[in-house]
Amino acid sequence: MIHVVAVITAKPGQRGKILEAFHANMPAVHAEDGCIEYGPATDAEGVGPFQTKYGDDTFVVIEKWASLDHLKAHAASPHMQAYGAKTKDMIASRVIHVLSPA
């Protein structure tokens, strides 16, 4: 299994628009062979002082794939290419961590 943690920071005020496009793309991703988990998350509220928040412009995508080959196919899929083209001008930064279980 492969885990992915992607940290997406939107340009100011654009996170909602990116998440709208993300949610519209989710059914196609969930239908991909090898997709175990794929969804966005934002800072939880009321956690307390031990939390380090990402902030109002950032969301994290938490993914699990059956294999690295499945992840590579996902990245090359037409719907991901279309999502990337639609959102690229709204994104300030994107950091993707690909991890193996320890």
Scan for tokens 């800072």, then name that residue: 43
Q: How far apart are CA 75 and CA 41, in angstroms?
A: 20
Residue 47: inside a domain? no
Provide the pLDDT for residue 37. 98
Q: How far apart are CA 2 and CA 95, in angstroms?
A: 16
DSSP conformational letter for 88: G
- 3-state DSSP assignment of residue 2: strand
Given pLDDT bands bounded at 50, 70 and 90, which one contains residue 93?
very high
Find the farthest-apart pair of alpha carbons in the chain and give their distance in angstroms, rounded: 42
Q: How far apart are CA 100 and CA 96, in angstroms?
A: 13
Residue 62: inside a domain? yes
Dihedral angle over CA of 70, 1, 3, 33, nearest 10: 30
Specify the CATH number for the domain of residue 67: 3.30.70.100
Residue 51: inside a domain? no
Residue 89: inside a domain? yes
Can you give the residue range of the structural domain that contains 11? 2-42+56-99
Residue 50: inside a domain? no
Q: pLDDT digits over 8-39, tens only?
A: 999 999 999 999 999 999 999 999 999 999 99
Number of domains, the chain:
1
Residue 24: inside a domain? yes
Residue 73: inside a domain? yes
* Burial (CB count within 10 angstroms: exposed 0-12, middle 13-18, buried 19+), residue 60: middle
Given pLDDT bands bounded at 50, 70 and 90, which one contains residue 72?
very high
